[in-house]
Amino acid sequence: METIATTLYHRTALPHSPAGDRHPAIIFLHGRGADENDLFGLAPYFDPRLFIISV
């Protein structure tokens, strides 16, 4: 197996509920020619209880 040294750039949107609560997460994975910012604009359209990670 070959090891690849890389950096994982990401953005997160924290849930709009108490910090002690458990939160489901959704991960946005972009395609070729895009970056972590492209799909992050969709975050406001998802359930505010989600922890959103855009990679």
Answer yes or no: is 3 within a domain.
no
Answer yes or no: is 23 within a domain.
yes
* Side chain identity, residue 34: A
Q: What range defines the domain where residue 36 resides? A: 11-54
pLDDT band at 9 (very low <50, low <70, confident <90, very high): confident
Answer yes or no: is 22 within a domain.
yes
Answer yes or no: is 4 within a domain.
no
Answer yes or no: is 1 within a domain.
no
Answer yes or no: is 15 within a domain.
yes
Answer yes or no: is 2 within a domain.
no
Domain count, the chain: 1
The token duo for 26 is 């959704």
pLDDT at 46 over 90: yes
The per-residue pLDDT for range 10-35, each reduced to its tens digit, is 899 999 877 777 889 999 998 888 88
Answer yes or no: is 36 within a domain.
yes
Whole-prediction pTM: 0.77
Instruction: Convert 18-29 to b/e letters by CB count within 10 Å (16 or more is b).
Output: eeeeeeeeeebe
Q: How far apart are CA 23 and CA 53, in angstroms?
A: 12
What does the H/E/C string look like for 5-36?
CCCCCCEEECCCCCCCCCCCEEEECCCCCCCH
Residue 3, pLDDT score: 73
pLDDT band at 51 (very low <50, low <70, confident <90, very high): very high
